[in-house]
Each structure stands twice: as C-alpha cells, then as structure tokens.
Chains A and B, each alone.
Chain A
Amino acid sequence: MKIIATKEAFLQAIHSIRANTLRSSLAALGVVIGITFVILMGWVLSGLDKAMEDSFKAMGTDVMYVDKFDWAGGKSWKELRNRPNITLDQTEKLISRLTSAELAVPVARTNRGKIVYGNQVYENIAIQGTTSQFSLTPSGTIDSGRFFNDIEDRMASNVVVLGWKVYQTLFPNGNSIGSTIKINNVKYTVIGVATKQGTTFADFMDNIVYIPLKSFLGTFGKYRRNFSICVKAGSTDQLDNVRAEVEGQMRMIRNLKPWEENNFSINETKTFETAVSTIRTIVWVVGIGMTLLSFIVGIIGIVNIMFVSIYERTKEIGIRKALGAKRYDILIQIIFESTTIAIIGAFISFVLTSVVAYITATFLPKLIPQVGFLSPMIPLDLLGIATVISIMVGIIAGLLPAMRAANFEPVVAIRYE
C-alpha cells in the first residue's frame, strides 16, 4: 500500500515541477553551481593525481635515493644543510657493499647547467652525472639513440643523453643524434634521448641531461661534491629489506653510534606521495568549504521555493488529507519534489561540466602546456558522488517544508483560498 502511494507521490512531484518549469529551474540553479564546483574540483584533482602517479611510475616505485636531503620535508632546513655531504668514497663503498639491491648507481647533479646549441642558450638545466647502469632504472629509459656505455663511463667521454624537454626545446624538428652541444663550455655529442618522464605537470623531471659521471666531475669538479645513490630494489616487496640494508651500511660507513640519528635520508616515491597527499588534503578542504557555501545557498533556494509551493497548494494538500492522505504521503510527495529538483540540477551540471572538461582538455593545453594533465572525461565515480550529494541536498531542503505541509490541519487547509 505504501508503495502505491509512494509511486504516486513521485509522479505528482514530476507533474508539479513540470507545471512550474521556470520556478523549479531557478531553484535548481544553486545546486547546479554547487555540483559544478564539486565535479570540476574533483576533475582537476583527479587529473593531478593521475599526473603524479605517472611521474612516480616513471621514477620507479621500487627505487630509492640515498641523499643528504630529505624530499618529504618536515625536517628543518638548517639541520639538513648541516649534514655532511655524501662523498664519492662513501658512495663507492655503499655501492660495492650492497647485496640485496638489484642495482645501485651513483648520481651527481647540478642545477646550474648552461647549454648552448648554435645560437640558442639555455641556463639552469639539471645536469646529472651517472654511470651506464642508470639506463637500467626507469628514469634512464631511452626513447631514441642509446644511453652511454661502460667504456664511455671509464673513458669520461663527452657524450650526452638529453631529457625529453631539453630535446624538444633544442631540437623542435627532431634529429638530434650526432649533434654537438656545449655544456658549460665543454663540447658534448648527443647520443640519445630519454623517454618522457613527468607529465606536463611535473615537467622538471624532463628538464635534464645525463652525462658520464667522470665527465661530470671533470667539468663541474669533485671537490666538496655531494653525491646521491640511486638504489633499485628489484620489486616493491623487496623495498623493506633493501632499505634496512642501505640504512645499516650507510651508518657503518659513516661510523654512526647507536644513539646517533641518521645524517642522511633514504627517499622513495612513497615519501613523495605523503607530501603530495598533504597538499591534496588542503586543496580538498578549501574546495569543500567553497562547495559547502554554494550548497547552503542552493539549499536555501530550494527551501524557499518549496515553502512557496506548499502554501500555494495548501488547498490541494487539504483535499488530499480529507480524502485519506496520511502525514507520510504528504511528506514524501514534497521531499520527492525537492529531491527531483536537486537531481535535475545535478544532471544539468553533468552536462555543463562534461562540455567544459572536453573543451578545456582539448584546446587549453595548446595555449598553456602546463594543464596537459587534464582529462577530457569527467571520472564516473565523481558523477556518482555528485548524484548522492544532490539527493542529500534535496532531502535536506525538502524536510522543513514537507513537515510543515504534513502538519496542515485538513479542516483549515481545505477551506484555504
């Protein structure tokens, strides 16, 4: 019996909304704005997440960097700066002693590279000196040409592998292999191009060139240089074992006493993720705050319209009650109506945001390459969340007017003109 009345209440709600199209669409406007906010925010964040994840994958989820500095932040800059540099000697010791890792490669790096090609000059490029084995890490994957080999390592050959962004900037027409570029006034021959690593969002990862370690030390000097060691565990299951060994060996190499803290950091993509998730949370909290505000406005809008609607239909409600409608029947009819308005609002937002997402993701990256992480499709789970939110908004907005209407005295309401 309840089911029949409920179905009828639903049909009534549709009927009533169609009879007052303009009023209902104005009421839905607040919800449209709110849901649009939620979806667009979620869309941007999910794009960012995807970009981040891709970057982590490119870096390698089973890779850790033993470094003087800590990537995750949270430690005081002063404390980090006062740590001793990781010397070449310590680097070589660690690499030779590690047994559990699949691979351990020394890395030296400067961000003050200056590259000259023809009459083009680029400054502040990351220059990384490493060994041929770096080609076995995800970051060292080659797109075209080849990575430098063991012999070139030992000979300190002046050969260079370009990061994707450097390649694109210097050689927009392609065909870089064999060209000569100058790195801080020393001539290098381009022998390969590394695969694109970061997404456009994290494109600093591609703004780099790789040269043999010995060549690097020749050009940039080895005195007081700080090294880091790229350790590849082999698989993510091995991470804990390898990390434990790396930590133990480093402490031994540095003669740390049991009560002394590590004066080096072991950085993993995971530590990065923690830092990123903090940023995400902040974005969400700010975004949710703004969304909440627009929902409050949306709810007030619907509440208003519903109050107008029930007073306008006082007589109708009186008639229904006189003919046997119970409180529940009236309650459910009004709540259905407000919920339907909210859902219609949500669907308008779906269409709106889908169009915005498609157009933005298709055309905007051509103007601003940094937004290339945006997807042309709104993720489905976001639409699901938005639907649930709109239903909740509808129920909340309908509750007060519905309770008022359900409590109308039939004997008074039926005589209302």
Chain B
Amino acid sequence: MDESLIIKLDNIIKRYEMGENQVLALDDISLEIKKNEYVAIMGPSGSGKTTLMSIIGCLDTPSSGTYYLDGENVEVMDDNELADVRNRKIGFVFQTFNLLPRENCIKNVELPLIYAGVKADQREELAIQALKNVGLEDRMFHKPPELSGGQRQRVAVARALVNNPSIILADEPTGNLDTKTGDEIMKLFHKLWQSGHTIILVTHEEDIALNAKRIIRLRDGKIIDDYVNTHQILIEDQKNI
C-alpha cells in the first residue's frame, strides 16, 4: 500500500435498520486521503457525511467494505481495539465542543492521555503545551462554562492535538460560532495543516469548505464530486505575489 496514504476506504456500505425499512446511509464509498491533506467533506443533511465521519473516526463500523487507517485494517477490530485506535490516531473536534463541563481546561485536554496511560505529571505538561499552542495559556484553570464559544472550541482543538494523532477530524467545528470566531478557528486549522497535520473537515457551509485544499461532495450516500479547491490555491497564489 502507498506509504503516503493515511485513509483508504474501499466499497464502504452502511445500512441502518429503521423498523422494517432499510436506510442506505453510505452507498459504496471508496476514498483515499494522503498524509497532510486538508479535505472538506460536504453535503446537505441526510447526505451521509456524518455517518462517513463516524466511520472514518472509528466511532462506528461499516456494514461492509474495508477501511485502512494509517495502515491498520479497522473493520476487523473489536470495541476495545477501536477505542485504542481512536485514542492513538484520531483527534476529534465537534460542533458542540463536547468538553466535560465540571473539569478545567487542563483536565479536559488530559483526557485522551489518561486512556493512553500517560503518567500524571507528564500529562499535565503535555496538556499545558497543547493549550499554549492554541493560545489559551491564561485560561488553563477555567472550566468550559466560564469560557466563550471560540475559547471552548480551542480547548477542544488542544484536546484533539494533545495525543499527536494521525488525523484531525472536525465535525462542523464552526457551526456553533459566530463568523469572526469561526474564522479564528479556521486560521488555527490552517496553521495545523501547515505544520504537517492531516485535517478532515465535515461541513455544509460553502465558505468554511473553501478553506480546505480538496473538497468531496456527498449526496444520498454517494460521492458525487471530488476536486482540488482552486479557489484556495488562487488566494494563496495572490498572497505569494
């Protein structure tokens, strides 16, 4: 297999049983994503993009098809092995932040490290470093309810980064933010991409998707379009001139 490939989906099908009806959420999806790509997965609601993101994030398993994540065959794994893969290889950023409200920022960012078995003092060090990277060093001891939406999403990004994962998987990361804070978060992702991270963005907003270098469009569980985002390249070319 190609060394630079980080995600390889072959003929992925996901069916849901809804009473007697079967819903085909993903219909024969094949997809390859290379290291240090910046991909946006787009589509209207019901297009299957959330299902696809759950499968890529190992939160759910496909009904059929094969999935290689960073060279590991995921679809043969049991629950505990999937948990381990999520812990090591994936950094999640969610629309609703999904932070633990009763814990302060450091504790929240430490969470993936706890399940990776990192010792307490080392955990705190790594968490503080990750929070510095997202510009939250002065808010480290605050709890999520005391932070603004943009700050909470930056805590979530720090948490996604702390384990040094293979991919960062962001599900509508700006969906609960105003335009200005949304832009700040997108700048953060851009910075992460520049420093070598692989980023997969799931969104239905066109202007957010335009930040990515490659855009994949879904409809009714199928990929209907997959192209290089020339718009973004044009902007950067302009910057370079």
Which residues does chain B contribute within 8 Å of A326, judged by CB atoms? 79-80, 83-84, 115
The answer to whether A5 touches B83 (Cβ under 8 A) is no
26 contacts between A and B (CB under 8 A): A1-B117, A2-B117, A4-B114, A4-B117, A5-B114, A5-B115, A319-B100, A321-B83, A322-B57, A322-B92, A323-B86, A323-B87, A323-B112, A323-B159, A324-B115, A325-B83, A326-B80, A326-B83, A326-B115, A327-B79, A328-B80, A410-B59, A410-B86, A411-B54, A414-B59, A414-B98
Instruction: Report whether B59 and A411 are in contact in the complex, using a CB–CB cutoff of 8 Å.
Output: yes
Verify A8–B59 contact, CB threshold 8 A.
no
**Complex Cα distance A142/B190, Å?**
100
Interface residues of A in 291-331 (CB under 8 A from B): 315-316, 318-329
- CB of A367 within 8 A of chain B? no
Complex Cα gap A1–B88 (Å): 14
Q: Which residues of B contact A19 (CB under 8 A)?
A: 102
Residues of B within 8 A of A320 (CB): 111, 115
CA distance A328 to B115 in the complex (A): 11
The 8 A CB mask of A400-413 against B (1 = contact, 0 = none) is 00000000011100
Q: Which of B54, B84, B94, B120 contacts A324 (CB 8 A)?
A: B84
Contact A323 B111 (CB under 8 A): yes
Against B, the Cβ 8 Å flags (1 = close, 0 = not) of A219-236 are 000000000000000000
Q: How many Å lie between the Cα of A319 and that of B160 in the bound state?
A: 12
Q: Is B28 an interface residue (CB 8 A)?
A: no
**B77 CB → nearest A CB, Å:** 12
Query: In the bound complex, do residue B115 and residue A329 qualify as a contact, i.e. CB atoms below 8 Å apart?
Result: yes
A1–B116 Cα gap in the complex (Å)? 7
Q: Which residues of B contact A329 (CB under 8 A)?
A: 115
- Are A8 and B114 closer than 8 Å at their CB atoms? yes
B119 interfacial contact with A, CB 8 Å: yes
The answer to whether B59 touches A324, judged by C-beta atoms less than 8 angstroms apart, is: no
In the complex, the answer to whether A5 meets B117 with C-beta atoms within 8 Å is yes
In the complex, whether A15 has a CB less than 8 A from a CB of chain B is yes
Q: For residue B123, give the distance in angstroms from its CB to the closest CB of chain A.
A: 9
The answer to whether the Cβ of B226 comes within 8 Å of any Cβ in the partner chain is: no
Nearest residue, chain B, Cβ from A407: B79
Which residues of the other chain, B, contact A324 by a CB distance below 8 angstroms? 83-84, 86-88, 112, 115-116, 163
> Scoring B residues 51 to 64 as 1 if CB is less than 8 Å from chain A, else 0, what string do you get?
00010010110000
A interface, over-half SS: helix
B118 at the interface (CB under 8 A from A): yes
Once the chains bind, are B102 and A15 in contact (CB under 8 Å)?
yes
**Separation in Å of the A415 CB from the closest CB of chain B?**
8
Nearest 7 Cβ contacts at the A-B interface? A324-B87, A1-B117, A324-B115, A411-B59, A411-B60, A323-B112, A326-B80
B90-113 CB contact bits vs A (8 Å, 1 = yes)? 001010001110100000000110
How far apart sit A327 and B83, CA to CA, in the bound complex (Å)? 9
Interface residues of B in 31-51 (CB under 8 A from A): none
Mask of A367-411 contacts with B, CB within 8 angstroms, 1/0: 000000000000000000000000000000000000000000111
A319–B87 Cα distance when bound, in Å, is 11
Q: What separation, in Å, do the CA atoms of A5 and B112 have in the docked complex?
A: 11
B83 and chain A: residue at smallest CB distance: A326
The digit string for B107-137, where 1 denotes a CB below 8 A from any CB of A, is: 0000110111111100000000000000000
In the complex with contacts A316-B100, A414-B98, A323-B59 CB distance below 8 A? no
How does the 8 Å CB contact mask read for A170-205 relative to B, with 1 for contact and 0 for none? Answer: 000000000000000000000000000000000000
Q: How far is the CA of A324 from the CA of B54 in the complex (A)?
A: 14
Per-position contact with B for A1-42: 1 when CB-CB < 8 Å, else 0? 110110010000001000100000000000000000000000
Tell me the minimal C-beta distance from A214 to chain B in angstroms.
87
B104 CB to closest chain A CB, in angstroms? Answer: 12
User: With contacts A411-B54, A411-B59, A414-B59 known, is A325 near B115, CB below 8 A?
Assistant: yes
Contact of B118 with A4 in the complex, beta carbons under 8 Å: yes
* New contact pairs (19) apart from A326-B80, A327-B79, A414-B59, CB-CB < 8 Å: A2-B117, A4-B114, A5-B115, A316-B100, A319-B100, A319-B111, A322-B86, A322-B92, A322-B98, A323-B87, A323-B111, A323-B159, A324-B163, A326-B115, A327-B80, A327-B83, A328-B80, A410-B86, A411-B60
Chain A residues within an 8 Å CB radius of B80: 326-328
Chain A contacts of B87 at CB under 8 A?
A: 323-324
Fill in one digit per residue for B198-227: 1 if any A CB lies within 8 Å of its CB, else 0. 000000000000000000000000000000
Scoring A19, A323, A326 by chain B CB atoms within 10 A of each residue's CB, the highest score goes to: A323
Contact B94 A414 (CB under 8 A): yes
A119 to B59, CA, bound (A): 95
